[in-house]
């Protein structure tokens, strides 16, 4: 075993532990004796002073991980598992990396030794419990959310238009509330989401993002029970703690009008491939499948801008009005085939890689800021612990004790403030990472279309487009396509020639 190289990892969480009990020297001596007995060659000894095992933000631990990733050693040796990590889930993650790199793990106290069959079996048992812990955590979270909803508490997520967040609960937003009330009243009067949207837009009202209202957005709002003071969770309605904006009588009146309205698809209704995906580039309304008869009494199919459907005199200024089925549908299919070609996709891939690199740089910068805050937090906690220890172990006059308690209070406040900054930073990091584009998934989907599109039925083709595309904006000379996996739109000429 002369060529069997190992890293030793030693940790204590406080200075007192460093000098008493399970000290650094005591741990190192035991590990060195074990290595001498086994004939292992020690590559590095990583000593972590005054660091908690509750997370992985430890400098020596990170150096150890780099050794593992670089396959510089054959095994990692610790005295006890909790020296390496107090989190079973962090331990599981590290074990996965070590298994991928074919690096063994040895813990003297727990008899984890993956160089032996029994040690490997023990490790598998530990990882089973890690999986159990993760599943139970998920179940507990679901139970908590279910309980919160049953008590009428808001569970977060997208804030409904008309409300604002206060102390993790929703309360009516003064300006938005007025718009919601007006929206319900106008719909009862007109029995039309299109006319309601037109009235709001013409009157100067806008949504939260200062955008025009459209009939789909209004349809979603007037069907949402949250405005009657209800909380919706898992398809169930609960009486909420938040203030209602609309009375149940008015809400039920609106639902009855919707039910009686002709929203269902008629048997002879034209089914366009880009239905609910195509929008007018002139006025922003969505374009609906339609048809008419030409002079030869043959049907001519086209997408019609909804702003021209049953227009009120002088109420629309759309310059596009309609677009031929064949022209737009065929061009969209051509574009998908073009993007699946290696030369065309390479251009898109380069742009995606630059975007992901920018996201990675931003995330790394935020991680550095987070590490500095965590070090600052650890320093504050150590100071607070020293003051607490002094109160227990020393005799002070009442004024001295008062000053020490005051100092502890200041440190506790500082600790809370740093924690809040860390939580906010963690949230921002998650948001940034959500913008990473999965280039392999996009390529896989485009190649799938290229391979299978000729065998697709109309329904399959439409399902594929809905899964890939957020919306398509039609102009007389070009198309703007917003793909769900991309944060920017792609522009294509309508007539390829």
Q: Of 260, 289, 315, at which residue does a domain stop?
A: 260
Percent of the chain with pLDDT over 90: 21
196 and 102 inside one domain:
no
Pairing of strands 163-166, 169-172: antiparallel
Type and span of the H or E element at 482: strand 478-483
Q: Indicate whether 71 belongs to any domain.
A: yes
pLDDT number for residue 397: 74
3-state helix, strand, coil in the chain (%, to 5): 55, 15, 30
337 shares its domain with 477: yes
What average pLDDT does range 415-441 have in this prediction? Answer: 84
pLDDT recorded at residue 42: 92
Residues 121 and 221 reside in one and the same domain: no
User: Number of C-alpha atoms within 13 angstroms, CB side, residue 81?
Assistant: 18
d(CA 402, CA 112) in angstroms, rounded, equals 49
Q: Are residues 237 and 277 in the same domain?
A: no
424 — pLDDT class (breaks 50, 70, 90): confident
Residue 192: the pLDDT is 86
Residue 245 forms part of a structural domain: yes
Record the pTM: 0.45
Residues 215 and 290 in one domain: no
**Same domain assignment for residues 252 and 315:** no
Res. 140: pLDDT tops 80: no
Between 42-46, 133-137, 407-411, 465-469, the lowest mean confidence (pLDDT) is in: 133-137
DSSP 479: E
Q: Over 50: is that where the pLDDT of 188 sits?
A: yes
Which of 101-110, 272-281, 311-320 has the weakest average pLDDT?
311-320
d(C-alpha 187, C-alpha 215), whole Å: 11
CA distances from 191 to 222, 247, 262, 265, 344 (A): 12, 18, 11, 18, 48
Contacts 24+ apart (CB under 8 A), 334-341: 334/496, 335/479, 335/481, 335/492, 336/446, 336/449, 336/450, 336/453, 336/468, 337/449, 337/450, 337/453, 339/446, 340/446, 340/447, 340/449, 340/450
Contact by Cβ (8 Å): 24, 14 = no
| pLDDT band for position 2 (cuts 50, 70, 90) | low
Q: In 3D, which of 97, 132, 495, 187 has the Cα closest to residue 323?
A: 495
- Residues 197 and 335 grouped into a single domain: no
CATH of the domain at 106: 3.40.50.1390
Report the pLDDT value the prediction gives residue 460, as an integer from 0 to 100.
85
Q: How high is the pLDDT of residue 175?
A: 86
Give the burial class of 5: count Cβ atoms within 10 A of its Cβ; 0-12 exposed, 13-18 middle, 19 or more buried: middle
Q: Look at residue 183 and tell me whether its pLDDT is greater than 50.
A: yes
Of 205, 234, 260, which closes a domain?
260
For the chain, the average pLDDT equals: 81
Which tokens go with 17? 């532990």
pLDDT score at 75: 92
152 occurs within a structural domain? no
Residue 173 pLDDT: 86
Tens-place pLDDT, residues 27-69? 888 899 888 888 899 999 999 887 765 567 888 999 999 999 9
What does the pLDDT read at residue 269?
Answer: 58
Q: Mark whether 493 and 347 lie in a shared domain.
A: yes
Domain of residue 109 covers 5-138
At residue 267 the predicted structure's pLDDT band, cuts being 50, 70 and 90, is very low
Separation in Å, CA 267 to CA 39, 271, 459: 81, 10, 16
Better pLDDT: 32 or 427: 32
Q: Is residue 229 part of a domain?
A: yes
| pLDDT band, very low/low/confident/very high, at 238 (cuts 50, 70, 90) | confident
**228 confidence band (pLDDT: 50, 70, 90):** confident
Compute and round to an integer the Cα radius of gyration of the chain.
Answer: 32
Percent of the chain with pLDDT over 70: 82
Of 82-96, 135-149, 364-378, the range with the lowest mean pLDDT is: 135-149
Query: Is the predicted pLDDT of residue 176 greater than 70, yes or no?
Result: yes
The alpha-helical segments, DSSP class H, found in 151-291 are: 174-190, 193-203, 215-222, 248-260
User: Is 429 within the bounds of a domain?
Assistant: yes
Q: Specify the pLDDT at position 46.
A: 92
Helix, strand or coil for residue 486? coil
Q: End of a domain among 123, 138, 153?
A: 138
Please indicate, yes or no, whether residues 175 and 105 belong to a single structural domain of this protein. no
Give the pLDDT confidence of 270-301 residue by residue, as tens digits.
Answer: 678 898 899 999 888 888 888 887 677 777 88
pLDDT, residue 129, reads 61
The structural domain count of the chain equals 3
Point out the least confidently predicted range of 59-68, 157-166, 303-312. Answer: 303-312
Whether the per-residue pLDDT at 244 is higher than 80: the answer is yes
pLDDT at 149: 65
Mean pLDDT value of segment 92-114: 82
Is there a domain that residue 397 lies in? no
Kindly state the average pLDDT of the residues 146-166. 73
- Is there a single domain that holds both residue 335 and residue 457? yes
For residue range 318-342, list pLDDT tens digits in order: 888 888 888 999 999 999 999 989 8
Is there a domain that residue 401 lies in? Answer: no
> Is 318 inside a domain boundary?
yes
Closest to 176 in 3D by CA, of 165, 164, 192, 189: 164
> Encoding tokens for residue 153?
């508490």
Lowest mean pLDDT among 101-115, 222-236, 258-272: 258-272
- Alpha helix positions (H), 70-116: 81-84, 88-100
* Positions marked active-site: 13
Give CA–CA dist 474/496, Å, rounded: 15
Residues 133, 178: one domain?
A: no
Q: Are residues 227 and 351 in the same domain?
A: no
Average pLDDT over residues 394-400: 74
């Amino acid at each position: 075993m002369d060529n069997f190289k190992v890293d030793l990892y030693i940790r204590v969480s406080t200075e007192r532990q460093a000098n008493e009990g399970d000290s650094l020297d005591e741990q190192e001596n035991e590990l060195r004796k074990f290595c001498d007995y086994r004939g292992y060659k020690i590559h590095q000894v990583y000593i972590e002073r005054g660091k908690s095992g509750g997370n992985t933000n430890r400098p020596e631990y990170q150096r150890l991980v780099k050794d593992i990733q670089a396959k510089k050693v054959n095994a990692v040796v610790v005295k006890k598992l909790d020296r390496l990590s107090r989190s079973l889930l962090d331990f599981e993650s590290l074990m996965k990396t070590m298994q991928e790199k074919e690096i063994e793990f040895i813990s003297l106290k727990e008899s984890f030794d993956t160089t032996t069959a029994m040690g490997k079996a023990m490790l598998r048992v530990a990882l089973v419990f890690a999986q159990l812990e993760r599943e139970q955590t998920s179940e507990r979270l679901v139970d908590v959310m279910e309980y919160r909803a049953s008590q009428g508490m808001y569970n977060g997520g997208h804030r409904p238009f008309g409300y604002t967040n206060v102390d993790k609960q929703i309360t009516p937003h003064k300006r938005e509330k007025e718009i919601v009330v007006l929206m319900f009243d106008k719909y009862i009067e007109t029995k039309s989401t299109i006319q309601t949207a037109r009235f709001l837009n013409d009157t100067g009202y806008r949504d939260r993002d200062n955008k025009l209202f459209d009939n789909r957005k209004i349809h979603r709002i007037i069907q949402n029970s949250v405005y009657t003071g209800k909380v919706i969770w898992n398809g169930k309605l609960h009486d909420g703690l938040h203030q209602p904006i609309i009375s149940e009588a008015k809400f039920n009146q609106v639902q009855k009008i919707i039910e009686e309205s002709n929203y269902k698809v008629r048997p002879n209704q034209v089914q366009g491939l880009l239905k609910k995906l195509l929008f007018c580039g002139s006025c922003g309304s969505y374009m609906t499948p339609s048809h008419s008869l030409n002079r030869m009494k043959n049907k001519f199919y086209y997408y019609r801008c909804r702003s021209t459907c049953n227009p009120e005199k002088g109420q629309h200024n759309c310059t596009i009005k309609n677009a031929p089925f064949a022209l737009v549908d065929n061009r969209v299919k051509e574009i998908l085939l073009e993007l699946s070609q290696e030369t065309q996709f390479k251009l898109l891939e380069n742009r995606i890689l630059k975007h992901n690199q920018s996201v990675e740089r931003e995330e790394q910068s935020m991680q550095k800021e987070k590490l500095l805050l965590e070090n600052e937090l650890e320093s504050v906690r150590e100071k607070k612990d020293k003051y607490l220890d002094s109160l227990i172990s020393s005799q002070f006059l009442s004024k001295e004790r008062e000053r020490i308690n005051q100092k502890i209070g200041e440190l506790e406040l500082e600790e809370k403030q740093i924690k809040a900054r860390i939580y906010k930073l963690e949230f921002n990091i998650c948001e940034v990472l959500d913008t990473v584009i999965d280039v392999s998934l996009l390529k896989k989907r485009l190649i799938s279309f290229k391979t299978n599109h000729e065998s697709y039925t109309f329904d399959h083709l439409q399902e594929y487009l809905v899964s890939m595309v957020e919306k398509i904006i039609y102009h007389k000379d070009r198309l703007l396509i917003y793909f769900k996996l991309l944060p920017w739109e792609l522009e294509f000429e309508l007539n390829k020639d």
